[in-house]
Each structure stands twice: as structure tokens, then as C-alpha cells.
Amino acid sequence: MLTIADAGGLGEAVPWLRPKTIIAVPTERSSDDTARPDLVVALDVMGTSQDPASVLQRLSALGSPVLCSYRLVPDTTAQGDRTLGAFEDLCREVGLSIVWRYFHQHFAIYMLAPPHHDITRVTTVGYHARADLITKLELDRPSLLVAGFFGRGNCGDEALLQAIYERLSTDFEIVVSLDEHGAFPEYWNWYPYDRCRRIHQGNLSDPARSCSGMIVGGGGLPIGFVADQVFAARSAGLPVALAGTDFPIITQPSPFAEAVSVDYLKSFDVVALRSATAVERARQLGVAAIHGADWALSLPTDESDAFQWIANRVLIVLREFPLRAVSFGYVEQISRLIGQLRAAGLTPTLLPFCPEDDRFAAALGLDVLAPTERHWWNPRRVKQLIGLSGLLISVGRLHPMIFAASTRTPVIQLCPPLADDMDPHAFGKISAMSREFDVDYLPSVDAVCEHVRLGRSRASGEGALRASQQRLEDMIDRLRRLFSPATEEVAQTR
């Protein structure tokens, strides 16, 4: 690694960027056997150099990826020729491509790749979010704190965060609140954590000190999820929204539990629940909820050439359950499902949606019955694979169905066969969202096999999908309006 400079003290402004303590893997050797640095760090050099074009040319000649920063200046100043757009044009002119860009206060932080460099060696994700494409930006962007079950490698939750980031990071700096104690090792290298500030969910002072608003987003959240941070934000006068979730999960229903859930929901300025069932329940309890939608509907699909269309590929998602809740009958039923699909000329393939799903299948010996596609940390790649398959069968997981709906892939929800004569309505979230998307929710393996044999497999209802997508847009517009007054107030106080 070669550190050029830290002239402006950017390491202090962005604590997780410490250029003198970055650890690089062993250096490569170039064709002339001279040492080539794995990463060049040049923080706050471009903004202070009298000839940034010359500096960039020299960096490009090194043939290594470059982590650099550029100090933002308004277009109206005398230095109007040194705007972000002008700097990015210089990068391209010398052959440095922009892998990603992260904004923090007065700085834009870049990962640049030299000509003919494999960018997958620079970062695990080469996605370009909408925020990465901005070339002009107001200084002092407001921050939004986004809390959820993030950083764990659950494909559905990671999809939610990616969608939130891409829809709102054009106007807000996204700060991610997550339980770092349960996070997956090195989750911070995933997109979009690699370009967001992150705080632990036990941090109560940060929301009030540095953010302009808060979103609690995600799937099935329990009563009082991150209520401590919600109350901290409210006590500071910040707008707070619960968006794209179900009615909070009550593990042991009781009048007291419902009263607590109502108090929790009424602490939000906006409650946008993703199913009509959840909205109806909230309104029955006196909560003014609106009908929103699942954030993952707007997740882009990957365009990798790693997969090809396979019409007879059937993806099977097995949701992890505690092993004490799983009888041998579950193993028999899933084994029979895989066997009958294969007998029908189809190619069953397991698609775990999180590390726990993968371990669950292995613990039950189901992983030896069919090949496994492991991409749970990369929701776009999972969505692409679903879109290039002939059928998806989800056994207890919601987001495979959401992905299939937006890729127009035939999909079946199978009630998990945890016991004889399982009641499909016992899985309330799956039941409600299957109705929401007009997806076939079948009670048994026999029903699924017959459904497939008769050629009845189908995509979700097209009208239901369009309605959900429109509700998502309406929800996002409402959130923007909610946070806009806060944005203006923050700008005036700075």
C-alpha cells in the first residue's frame, strides 16, 4: 500500500477512514517485476493541489486502485471550474474509472480504478447507486438514520437497505443503525455499508446530534424495535417514520401487548405498513396507518453474465426454523418435493436467503438432494437468478416472492410442513403478502406437485404488482415531504 497524504485531516472527519492504518494484502508484481501497491490512498490531495490533472495522471500511471477525496465547493464560487463534475471529468480523461463515490459533509470520497483493472478486486460490489451518479451536490446534506435488521446477510433485509439507500441517498446522507453484535463478519465491505456511516443500535446520542430524521424500515419487526433510538430522535424534535413493515410482531398476544404496540406506533409521524391486513389491524386499534409497500420492490436486478436462462430450473427457498420445531416429517416432505420435481423433468436447486437457511438445509441433510446457489449477501444477484429461472417455490420466506413478482417469475408459496395438517394462516405474514401480490399459497407438498403437474404455475397478479409499485412511490413521496421541513430547518441552523 502507498499512502500519498492526509493533508486535510480527513481521517478525523470520517473516523472509519484512517489512511495510515489501512491494511493491504500482499502487493502484486507487475510485468517488469517492480512492486505495485495494492491501494493508493490520497485523501484531501486533489482539493489542495494546484494541478490536480497532473496528480491524477501520475496516480493512473501507478496501475493501482486509488482511494481519494475531493473537497466540495459550490458552483457559485470563484472556483466554479473545480466542481465535482469537473473533477470527475479529469478522472475519466486520465483513464481512472469511478467504482463508487461516498459523500460526507464537505467531502466526496472516491474509489477509482486504473485502466484495464478488474474492479471486482477493488470492491466486492461495483454497483452504481443513484447517489453515485450525482456530479453536483448541495453542501451540508441532511442525514437520515435508517434502522432495521441489517448487516446479517439476510437477503431480504439487505435488499430493503439497498432500496432505501438508492431511493433516498440522492437527497440525504444515509446513516445505518444496526446491531453490530449480531452482524456478519466484514459486513462493512458490502454495498451500501461501504459508503454509509454506521452506528450501533444502542447509540442513543447520535440520532439527536447528527441526523435530521429517522426511518425504521424492514420486514416483520417486533414490538418496540429500536424504540430507544426512536424516542431519542423524537425527544430531539426529529420526524420519525415506520415504513414498509408489517404490524409489529406480538409473540404472546394480550391486551397489554396490544396497548404497548399502539403506544409504539403512535410515536411515529408516519406509519406506512406493507399489507392491507396490517393496515386494517392498525386502524382497528386507532393507529392512523397508511397502505405502503415493501421497499424491495424497487431493488434493481443484477446484469451479471454469471447466469443463463434455464427454463426447467426450479429454485427452492427453505426458511430456517429452530431444529426443535422440525419433525422428520418435514425432511420427508421436502425430499419428496425435490424428488417429484426431478421426476417431472425439472432441475430443483436450493437457494438459501441467509446463512441460517444454508446451515438449516445442511443440518437436515437436504443439501445433498439438490445443488445450492449461494448468493444471499448479494440480493441483486439473487434477484437476477430468480428472473432467469422457470419457477420459484418459497417455503416460508417472504422476499423470494417479492423478487419473483417484480421479475415476473412463476412463484408458489408453500406452507412449511412443520407438522401434519399445518394451518397456512399460522404464517400470517406469508398469508397476507400472498394475497397482496395475488400469489398461489398452497397448503402441502402434494398440492404443489399437482399444481406443477397441471401446468398451473404462474407469476404474481400483474395488477396487484402495479398497485404495490404505485403505493411504494406514494410512500416514498410522503416520506420526502415528511423530512423536507426538517431539511430546511437544519440548513438554516448551520
Does residue 387 surpass a pLDDT of 90?
yes
pLDDT tens digits, one per residue of 252-280: 778 888 898 899 999 999 999 999 999 99
- What is the predicted pLDDT for the residue at 138? 57
Residues 329, 273, single domain; the answer is: no
pLDDT tens digits, one per residue of 9-44: 434 433 334 333 333 333 344 444 456 777 888 887
Q: Average pLDDT, stretch 302-321?
A: 94
| Dihedral pair phi/psi, residue 306, rounded to 5° | -75, -20
Q: Is the separation of the CB atoms in 461 and 434 below 8 Å? A: no
CATH label of the domain that carries residue 90: 3.40.50
Residue 406 pLDDT level (bands cut at 50, 70, 90): very high
Radius of gyration of the chain (CA): 24
- What is the predicted pLDDT for the residue at 86? 82
- What is the predicted pLDDT for the residue at 218? 80
Q: What's the structural domain count of the chain?
A: 3
- The C-alpha atoms of residue 275 and residue 292 are separated, in whole angstroms, by 7
- What is the predicted pLDDT for the residue at 11? 41
C-alpha separations of 286 from 277, 281, 282 in Å = 15, 9, 7
Q: Report if residue 136 sits inside a domain.
A: no
Query: Can you state the percent helix, strand and coil of the chain, rounding each to 5?
Result: 40, 20, 40
Q: Report if residue 465 sits inside a domain.
A: no
Question: What is the helix (H) or strand (E) element at residue 174, kind and residue range?
Answer: strand 173-178
Q: Is the separation of the CB atoms in 145 and 164 below 8 Å? A: no
Residues 148, 295, single domain; the answer is: yes
Residues 295, 147, single domain; the answer is: yes
- The C-alpha atoms of residue 200 and residue 191 are separated, in whole angstroms, by 18
Across 85-94, 343-352, 438-447, least confident range: 85-94
Does residue 351 surpass a pLDDT of 80?
yes
DSSP 166: H
Residues 172, 292, single domain; the answer is: yes
- The C-alpha atoms of residue 82 and residue 87 are separated, in whole angstroms, by 6
pTM of model > 0.85: no
For 27, half-sphere exposure in the C-beta direction (CA atoms, 13 angstrom radius) is: 14
DSSP 401-419: HHHHHHHT--EEEE---SS
Residue 74 pLDDT level (bands cut at 50, 70, 90): low
Q: Report if residue 137 sits inside a domain.
A: no
Residue 215 pLDDT level (bands cut at 50, 70, 90): very high
Cell numbers linked to 237: 424534535
Residues 277, 314, single domain; the answer is: no
Domain of residue 33: give its range: 2-123
Does residue 130 surpass a pLDDT of 70?
no
Q: Return the percentage of the chain with pLDDT > 90, whole number.
A: 53
Residue 223 pLDDT level (bands cut at 50, 70, 90): confident
Q: Between residues 1 and 292, which one has the greater pLDDT?
A: 292
C-alpha separations of 182 from 64, 87, 200 in Å = 34, 40, 11
C-alpha separations of 403 from 298, 299, 386, 473 in Å = 10, 8, 7, 17
- What is the predicted pLDDT for the residue at 400? 98
Residues 429, 476, single domain; the answer is: no
Q: Report if residue 130 sits inside a domain.
A: no
